[in-house]
A and B are shown apart, each in its own frame.
Chain A
Amino acid sequence: DPKIIQKPKYLVAVTGSEKILICEQYLGHNAMYWYRQSAKKPLEFMFSYSYQKLMDNQTASSRFQPQSSKKNHLDLQITALKPDDSATYFCASSQDPGTDSDYTFGSGTRLLVI
């Protein structure tokens, strides 16, 4: 059974619209993260949360907003979508946010903005 569930797997959106990417983890981890994988770029760290509190935000745009309604949930709301937002978005988690943590990744949500 997948330990990190990301929904949906695929998403097509119109430029200017808003979408929410869902992430739930069942590992009992206390820290959760969002990463983005765009074509020809390395996997980029976006956000980290620990105990439902934002720890770090490396995303330049305020159009990307994480939302944590429960400890094992970290959704990603993206507003005013642009074609450049097309990417695969990965959710990850770790027991805690320390530098020696093990990270588990979900299978990703592939977003295409047209």
Chain B
Amino acid sequence: AQSVTQPDARVTVSEGASLQLRCKYSYFGTPYLFWYVQYPRQGLQLLLKYYPGDPVVQGVNGFEAEFSKSNSSFHLRKASVHWSDWAVYFCAVSKYYAQGLTFGLGTRVSVFP
């Protein structure tokens, strides 16, 4: 069965520093992978998605992610964090037809000056 593991429940980072959020997936076949962000009291917004092809995916607001089949990973990165990046970040893998997405538990990112 598909699964997604986000090993870091919380990450604290200084504004302007770099950020990496880890995501490991388990999936039989070709995975379609997603990163979503949830700002306080809001719904989920898509940051980026991976479809088979270039392993590095560019997303919105300076985010990018790198897919690694050998490591079963899809880590999210940002070179310079802004205070507005304070949010919860979810990694997800597409399940089978009409079964939506399987999500990780999320990583809560706090940004301090």
Contacts and interface: CB of A to CB of B under 8 A. Distances in A.
A43 interface: yes
Contacts, number: 63
Given A42-B104, A43-B90, A99-B32, A105 B43 contact: yes
A106 B43 contact: yes
Interface in B38-68: 42-46, 49, 51
Contact of B46 (A41, A43, A44, A102): A102
Interface residues of B, number: 26
B21 to A, nearest CB: 15
A41 B4 CA distance: 12
Nearest to B105: A42
Interface string B76-113: 00000000000000101011111111111110000000
B51 A55 contact: no
Nearest to B46: A102
Contact of A99 (B90, B96, B103): B96
Contacts of B42: 107
Interface string A48-61: 10100001101000
B58 to A, nearest CB: 16
A100 B101 CA distance: 10
Leading 6 A-B pairs by shortest Cβ distance: A55-B98, A97-B98, A107-B43, A43-B103, A45-B100, A105-B44
Given A98-B97, A102-B49, 10 more contacts: A35-B100, A42-B4, A42-B106, A43-B101, A44-B103, A45-B100, A92-B100, A102-B46, A105-B36, A105-B45
